[in-house]
Amino acid sequence: MLTHQEMSDRLELQDLLVDYCHAIDFRDWDALDDVFTSDAIIDYTELGGSRGNLAETKAFLAQTMPMFESFQHMISTSKITITGDTAEGRTILHNPMVLPAHGEGAKPHVFFCGLWYHDTFVRTPAGWRISGRHEEKSYTFNAPF
């Protein structure tokens, strides 16, 4: 049976994962300060993105995400193992992304990314934060134009 502390930790970690999705989907890069530690290493390279610390990642997102008209980060089936003040997690992400229409009569283009987030979490005085994230590619699907 889970202790009250374990239940609280799991809920806080689940909220942290959702906070990440909302920060990205609403393009609120500064909200990531409450998701990651300042020295976190965030690795998006398997899907063509950057690898860097929080400041570098926020700059990358601010530069590249405007190319998309919209996107949704949908997470599920998180498997989290908590050991005291640290934790490891693996979470599924399904992510449709919309590129704007280009040319007369063109329609927006949707493609899908599927991946796992591999996260390392740490409890800080401000609460749980992600201290490391690696995206592992599962699939991409490029819907026909």
What are 67-77's pLDDT values in tens digits? 999 999 999 99
Say how many domains are in the chain. Answer: 1
CA atoms within 13 A on the CB side of 126: 9
Least confident of 17-26, 47-56, 96-105: 96-105
| Alpha carbons 122 and 129: distance in angstroms, whole number | 6
* Span 90-119, average pLDDT: 93
CATH code of the domain in which 127 resides: 3.10.450.50
pLDDT band at 144 (very low <50, low <70, confident <90, very high): low
Q: Please state the pTM of the whole predicted model.
A: 0.94
Q: What is the pLDDT of residue 28?
A: 98
**Rounded percentage of the chain residues whose pLDDT exceeds 70:** 98
| Alpha carbons 138 and 67: distance in angstroms, whole number | 23
Confirm if 102 and 8 have CB atoms less than 8 A apart: no
3-state helix, strand, coil in the chain (%, to 5): 30, 45, 20
Q: What is the pLDDT of residue 145?
A: 58
Provide the domain limits for residue 115: 4-142
Strands 127-142 and 109-124: antiparallel
pLDDT tens-digit readout, 7-19: 999 999 999 999 9
* Span 61-65, average pLDDT: 97
Q: For residue 17, give every residue at least 6 positions away whose Cβ sits within 8 Å of its Cβ, in sequence order, or none.
A: 75, 78, 89, 91, 117, 119
* Span 114-132, average pLDDT: 98
Position 70, amino acid: S
* Span 30-40, average pLDDT: 98
Helix (H, G, I), strand (E, B) or coil at 76: strand
Q: What is the pLDDT of residue 139?
A: 96
| Alpha carbons 82 and 123: distance in angstroms, whole number | 10
